[in-house]
Amino acid sequence: MSSIEKPSTVIGVDLDGVCGDFYGRMREIASEWFECPLDQLSREVSYGMTEWGVTGTNQYESLHRFAVTQRELFKTMRMIPGARKYLRMLSDEGYRIRIITHRLFIHYFHASAVQQTVEWLDSHGIPYWDLCFMKEKAQVGADIYLEDAPHNVTQLRERGLYTICFANSTNLHISSPRAASWNEVYDMVRDYRPQDHRVT
């Protein structure tokens, strides 16, 4: 083996809506929060969840705080099918998995958010080298980003960073590259060539 190893390709992976079914679990919690039947809340929701009756930032933060502190949102959401399988395959093939999440945007319960996140990752067997809690994901320094939030996808792409949009109802307006499943993510990551995505 050469004493100089080839650098690994770093994949910056979002959690909510990409690895974990954030909207599925939030729908259940919102049903309880608003005291309405689950089937009255659409499965097709936009970013901000106005379809469920969330009217603004303050109300969203109240719901989010309840979800994390009282219903362990980050620990109890289901895994999106394929996340474990294909991240493990990529990790085994030498890709470096860097989890990047902005789960600390509401003050005073960071410890719960971090603990639930680590427990969820470990209990689902999700492989990762690094775990980053930060808003400015471009500063993390990944080669490929996997993200579902529309504003994050747009911001990363505007900086010339190759970003795969993990498709869901919140990002229907976002252009390719898009992946509707983890199988598609795997193929797109394997096909990625840095020289094909240089900003000129």
CA–CA dist 200, 113 (Å, integer): 40
DSSP state at residue 14? -
Residue 178 in contact with residue 164, Cβ under 8 Å?
Answer: yes
**CA torsion 7→136→194→157, rounded to 10°?**
170
Residue 80 in contact with residue 18, Cβ under 8 Å?
Answer: yes
Active-site choice (14, 21, 143, 148): 14
Q: What is the DSSP string of 35-57?
A: T--GGGS-SS--TT-GGGT--SH
Instruction: For residue 148, indicate whether it is catalytic.
Output: no
Give the pair of three-digit tokens for residue 139. 């500063």
Instruction: For residue 16, indicate whether it is catalytic.
Output: yes
Query: Which residues are identified as catalytic?
Result: 14, 16
